[in-house]
Amino acid sequence: MKKIIILLIGFVSCFAAYNSPGTDYDKALVRTYTEEDTLRALDTVNMILRFMKDSRADKFINKGPYKVMQKDDEKQGGAQTGTGNTKTESLIPMTFNVTRDTSDETAPMIVKLWLDEDDGPGGNPQRIIGYMKVEKGVDSEYPMGKFTFHFAGFGIQANGETNTSDNVMNGVLGADKGSSEGLAIIQYENNMSEQGMNFIEAIKMEIDGDKKGQGFTNVIAWGDNQPVQKKYKLTLDSRYYKVQEVNATTHENLGSEIIKDKQIKIIKTFRYGLYYDTNGSKVEMNSGFPIKDASGNYGYAGYWGIWSQDDIMSDGTTVTKEGTSDTYTIVTAPGKLKKYTRSSATMESIKNTKLYFWNQNDGQQYILSWDASQQDYKILGIQNQYGEADASALVNITANEYLFTDDYNGTGAGKLQINEWSNTWSEALQASIKIESSVTNSTEIFFHKEEVVIPDTNLTLINFGWEVINPDMNVNDLNTTASIRFEDNNSIIGGMYQYNIDNLVLVDLNRSNKPVVFANGADFNNTIYEWWQYGTQMGPLITADRAVNYNFSNWWNVEQNEDVYYRWETGSQNWNKFTGLEDANGNILTFDPPKTFAYTHDSTKDTNGDEDNGGLYSLQYDGYDLQIPWTYDEDSNNWFPKINIKSSTSLSDGSITFRIKALESGIIIGEAQGASSVTWLTNDLNTSYDGVEHNLSLITGETGVSVPDANVTVIKGQCLYEDCAMTQVNP
């Protein structure tokens, strides 16, 4: 009873092709679950079990409340614009309290939890409170152990307290022994509402150690843009899976039964680990740490800035690093300094790679790609809300035709305005790439990779950009002029600026050290020029020792020739600003940027053997997870990984080789090509939930509706301390 042993039912698969015994790579746990619509309730069950497993509850028995920061996969990601990256990260804070009477070997383990969501039913905040009782460990009589988990969702009042009168969801999950030894029964029921209608998500299955079993499931499906209740009978054997839709009320069969073959699998991998090729050790990084303010609000500080629930932490907030007494002050600058370091590639190497281009003609963001066979830029479509190319949104342009070959370069309707300053943004290279009509596959292109920097000392910079940010512009100017440049070009080229580390701002040395930001009250989101909402930037800026090589007659060569230059960005969005932590000595904390790999995918590296024509991809590792590109499937209303990489695939940053391992995957089962000879179990399991009834009093009484104070000791499934609860004390 010292551990909760979770058995993930259904279609478990292992991907450990690269195996160095005893290494972090070898020991890393692999989780696999179904993505079948007919077993959607099982996905919910597995999610609950995953949260429980990642809570490391067995390490905190009788240690008092503790907090877990769980990665929110539904909210990871960001967007690309023609000028850069707008990446963000989100975490889910959960509070646990685990107890057990250690003087009694038969005593159950009790797990209590509290979880706040900002997007509950109707888009409103919801507090989920749970009570889990673990009575039996795993053995031959109880193949999944014996436990019950009661949970409920409540609204949250403005003062942060639980609104017990707003009970929006109730559910229970239980595991017990089956009808005979070697069988386990699992039952789950969740009563919830969607769009003002009540639904039941449920599953009831009896299975054996060979994964043979039977049961039923209730799911919430979508039809005609509204939720509908569906019910299925299920029968499993070691290879095949039979599903029959039934009437949700009468249980009469609907349509034909479908037999699926578990050997026909489409695997979608959602999470990877990164390990050193030489010894299999996990790649550790100084990516960030959890923080807490004086009111007990939690957040996370890292390379991408500060995250806190409802953005409650802001400039000037004093915070403490979790698990320590170290205090810091949140500082937010009105802009950020970005450093660009020169690199190169050939056009052939970026074939089929998405290139994002902002077209000044119509204010739209286009997605292009380099077509190696045509040696021209193919126009794929206009970027939609999911980051994909929408060909139907093109006006006076035919999708998959070519920018220069088909004469789409120019001004006016149906044209992309390309000039000597035009660039595209490559997410794969994390860089801007110049568009030119004369390039071929063998053309070597030079680009500069972007990173946000805080110099050690004040940095004097010389401007060689043709337009600059005018610090004297007021709010009205944003609606009356599309340009941010001064009219006197001679004062622009060669203008002197200084980045001050004391206040993290760029000042104009030629104009009485005025900060290069817009006047207070300027609202970028309410202007007649749509592009203002993304902020603006100026540059290139270079140091004085390099500036001696340029003047008013050759300033346009700076970006092409210089190994390093800078840009200053400002605006009203969070990604236009630097936000970080300052210590007691006035020093700004720095965190490791994600490791970025330019990766080309093909069928030999794909888990399913699929071909891919996406060109280069940017894979980023933040110390916890290797992040891959995702794509939106409108038919299923879900996001899925765009590529699925085999475990043991190698990545290199140019000097060090790494191995990746698929840690969490979902499986879609293909229809059987023939299974008529299979002897099916008789599906006589009654089609109603007959497990433990939901007990709300265990939640409101035993667990309690007030969230206890606790320290963060587990983040993204990993303990912050060697023995997990080393510094934990009872509040």
DSSP secondary structure, 175-197, as one string: EEE-SSTTEEEEEEEEEEEETTE
Predicted local confidence at residue 564, as pLDDT: 96
**Predicted TM-score of the model (pTM):** 0.64
Residue 627 within a domain: no
Contacts of 641 (CB under 8 A, 6+ apart): 268, 269, 270, 628, 629, 630, 631
Tens of pLDDT, residues 429-464 = 777 888 989 989 999 888 888 888 888 899 999 999
The amino acid at residue 18 is: Y
Kindly state whether residues 215 and 133 are assigned to the same domain: yes
Contact yes or no for 123/92 (Cβ under 8 A): no
- Closest to 234 (Cα-Cα) out of 192, 203, 270: 203
From CA 212, how far away is CA 421, in angstroms rounded? 64
Please determine, for residue 424, whether its predicted confidence score (pLDDT) is greater than 80. yes
529 DSSP 8-state letter:
S
Question: Domain check: are 193 and 292 in the same one?
Answer: no
The answer to whether residue 723 scores a pLDDT higher than 80 is no
Which of 244-253, 549-558, 683-692 shows the highest mean pLDDT?
549-558
Structure confidence at residue 301 (pLDDT): 93
Examine residue 547 and state whether it is found in any structural domain, yes or no. Answer: yes
The boundaries of the domain holding residue 534 are 454-573
261-298: pLDDT as tens digits: 878 888 889 899 999 998 899 999 998 998 999 988 88
Q: How confident is the model over 718-726, as a mean pLDDT?
A: 73
Q: Where are the beta strands (DSSP E) in 42-161?
A: 66-71, 80-81, 84-85, 91-100, 109-117, 126-136, 146-156
Pairwise CA distance, residues 328 & 322, whole Å: 11
- Is the pLDDT reported for residue 152 higher than 80? yes
CA-to-CA dists, residue 212 to 136, 184, 401, 567, angstroms: 22, 11, 53, 62
Rounded distance between C-alpha atoms, residue 530 and residue 405, angstroms: 30
Q: Cα–Cα distance between 214 and 243 in angstroms, integer? A: 10
pLDDT tops 90 at residue 667: no
Q: Which of 525, 558, 573 is the last residue of a domain?
A: 573
Residue 43 lies in a domain: yes
Asked if 352 and 370 touch (Cβ cutoff 8 Å), the reply is yes
Q: What is the pLDDT of residue 611?
A: 86
User: Does residue 493 surpass a pLDDT of 90?
Assistant: no
Binning pLDDT at 50, 70 and 90, where does residue 486 land? Answer: low
Whether residues 196 and 51 fall in one domain: yes
Give the pLDDT confidence score for residue 474 in this predicted structure.
Answer: 63
Q: What's the whole-number mean pLDDT along residues 702-731?
A: 75
Say what the pLDDT of residue 190 is. Answer: 83
The answer, yes or no, to whether residue 686 has pLDDT greater than 60, is: no
Residue 75 included in any domain: yes
Confidence of residue 729 (pLDDT cuts 50, 70, 90): very low
Q: What are phi and psi of 317, to 5 degrees?
A: -70, 135
Better-scored residue on pLDDT, 275 or 482: 275
- pLDDT at residue 27 in the model: 84
Give the pLDDT confidence score for residue 688 in this predicted structure. Answer: 53
* Per-residue pLDDT at 84: 42
What pLDDT is recorded for position 52? 78
Percent of the chain clearing pLDDT 90 (strictly above):
31
The answer to whether 509 touches 498, Cβ cutoff 8 Å, is yes
Please tell me the total count of domains within the chain. 4
Is the domain of 265 the same as that of 354? Answer: no
Residues 425 and 478 in one domain: no
Distance in angstroms (rounded) separating the CA atoms of residues 147 and 554: 74
Give the C-alpha separation, 368 to 362, whole Å: 16
pLDDT digits (tens, 9 = 90+) for 75-111: 333 333 334 443 445 578 899 999 999 899 889 999 9
- Alpha helices per DSSP H over 558-686: 558-561
Contact 674, 27 (CB under 8 A): no
Query: φ, ψ for residue 221 (rounded to 5)?
Result: -100, 175
Q: How confident is the model at residue 17 (pLDDT cuts 50, 70, 90)?
A: very low
pLDDT tens-digit readout, 33-73: 767 767 667 667 767 777 777 888 888 999 999 999 876 65
The pLDDT of 678-698, averaged and rounded, is 61
pLDDT tens-digit map of 364-376: 999 999 999 999 9
pLDDT of residue 242: 82
5 domain-assigned: no
Q: Kindly state whether residues 118 and 224 are assigned to the same domain.
A: yes
- Which amino acid belongs to residue 165? S
Which of 164-168, 423-427, 655-659 tops mean pLDDT?
A: 655-659
- Please tell me the predicted confidence (pLDDT) of residue 635: 64
Q: How much is the pLDDT for 10?
A: 28
pLDDT in tens, 245-271: 888 777 788 878 888 887 888 888 989
Please indicate, yes or no, whether residues 111 and 235 belong to a single structural domain of this protein.
yes
Is 4's pLDDT higher than 60?
A: no
**Is the predicted pLDDT of residue 310 greater than 80, yes or no?**
no
How are beta strands 595-600 and 514-515 bridged, if at all? Answer: unpaired
Q: Single out the residue of 725, 55, 712 nearest to residue 320, CA to CA.
A: 712
* Same domain membership, residue 493 and residue 385: no
The residues pairing with 151 across neighbouring beta strands, listed in sequence order, are: 130, 171
Question: Are residues 481 and 399 located together in one domain of the fold?
Answer: no
- Position 139 scores a pLDDT of 83
- Co-location of 423 and 465 in the same domain: no
Q: Which pLDDT score, from 0 to 100, does residue 150 have?
A: 92
Question: Domain for residue 324, yes or no?
Answer: yes
Strand partners, 626: 621
Q: Tell me what pLDDT residue 189 has.
A: 85
Q: Is residue 282 in some structural domain? A: no
Q: Quote the CA–CA distance of 494 and 252 in Å, as a whole number.
A: 80
Q: Check whether residue 493 and residue 559 sit in a common domain.
A: yes
The pLDDT value given to residue 194: 62
Residue that wins the pLDDT comparison between 598 and 366: 366
Mean pLDDT of the residues in the chain = 81
Residue type, 636: S
182: alpha, beta or left, given left = phi > 0 and alpha = psi -120 to 50? Answer: left
> Is 519 domain-assigned?
yes
3-state secondary structure (DSSP) of residue 47:
helix
Q: Are residues 384 and 504 in the same domain?
A: no
